Amino acid sequence: MNVPYIDMHCDTLMQAWLKRKKDIYTLPKAMVDVQRLKQGGCMAQFFAIFMPPIKLKKYMGPFFPKDGPYIRKLHTIFQNTLKDHGDVLAPVFTGKDLEQNAAQGKISALLTLEDGRAVNGSLERLEEFYTMGVRLISLTWNQPNCFGSPNSDNPQVMNTGLTPFGRQAVERMTQLGMIVDVSHLSDGGFWDVAQISSKPFVASHSNCRELCPHRRNLTDDMLKALGEKGGVAGVNFGPEFLNQSPEDKNSTNERIAVHLRHIIQKGGLECAAFGSDFDGIKGSFETGSPKEMPRLISYLESHGFTWEEIEHIAYKNVQRVLKECL
């Protein structure tokens, strides 16, 4: 049985920009392109505008891209792909678009922003991103910004909550129809979002801290709270987020399955999803591209996951969140 899937995170737009490509239809040196999405039976792919880390500025100097032009370039790559390959790919702006695209045999593409620093503390700028088509924002990456603080080994930073603007922006995002993403956010920020968000929120590419002690992963209490809010956690395929030892650079279907099972146990069946982080992770991968997703789904079936569980993980949970949030 073929099961369509939704993947909540990839950094492919950045890879296309680095390789000076006009679109993402064919990117043989990347992990994702439209051709492989077709081969894998993808229902929807979330494409992140990943903001380059500020720390690179001291190494790149004048070559470090300015936020505005960089965002426009990645948005143009996204738009070019939709324009030139509209027979295959179609955008998602509302909760109904996903089903309409699927009915037409098209893969849905949802534009996201990774690192809310580009919002620059402005609700007007936030609304500009909505108008641009962005429907999910990862509030932080790995440095503080106008929304709040990132995950950190420093307990003081890790326990820091959202900024006053961050709290205001989360409320405005839910009003507009933008999904709040807590991947990379501090623990304190997570709990602020859980308290103030009136709609489901997501951890688009985060795993279980109980199984892998990386600070980016979610505690059992977080998974429980996420599930109670109707949110989802997309399992990240990166070895550093899957394995107990940071020395283990292998991403296996077994470890992905273990994290999915744990999310279901702690957050409920409607909490588990995929958030591969393709094109943003390194290692040795058993499932390393969209065309290999059917093999992962077959692995789940042969290792104790029911078809009801697989369908919820693969697409139903994220489909529900899109309907409720957009």
Burial (CB count <10 Å: 0-12, 13-18, 19+), residue 294: middle
> Can you tell me which residue has the tokens 């987020």?
241
187 — pLDDT class (breaks 50, 70, 90): very high
pLDDT digit string (tens) for 115-154? 999 999 999 999 999 999 999 999 999 999 999 999 999 9
Residue 286 pLDDT > 90, yes or no?
Answer: yes
236 vs 57, more confident: 236
Those residues whose C-beta lies under 8 Å from the C-beta of residue 207, and which sit 6 or more positions away, are 214, 216, 217, 218, 233, 235, 236, 241, 242, 259
CATH number at residue 125: 3.20.20.140
Give the three-state DSSP class for 148.
coil
Average pLDDT value for residue range 159-169? 98
Average pLDDT value over all residues in the chain:
96
Give the count of domains, the chain: 1
In degrees and rounded to multiples of 5, residue 47 shows phi and psi of -110, 120
pLDDT digit string (tens) for 206-229? 999 999 999 999 999 999 999 999
Cα distances (angstroms) measured from residue 163 to each of 167, 192, 229: 6, 10, 21
What is the amino acid identity at position 243? N
Residue 2 has a pLDDT of 84
Average pLDDT value for residue range 249-268? 98
| Structural domain range at position 145 | 5-325
The least confident of 54-58, 83-87, 313-317 is: 54-58
**Dihedral sign (CA 180, 199, 135, 175):** negative
58 — pLDDT class (breaks 50, 70, 90): low
CA distance 135 to 316: 18
pLDDT digit string (tens) for 71-130? 999 999 999 999 999 999 999 999 999 999 999 999 999 999 999 999 999 999 999 999
Residue 1 has a pLDDT of 64
The predicted model scores a pTM of: 0.97
Average pLDDT value for residue range 152-173? 97
Long-range contacts of 71-76 (CB under 8 A, 24+ apart): 71/118, 73/17, 74/13, 74/14, 74/16, 74/17, 74/49, 75/49, 75/111, 75/132, 75/133
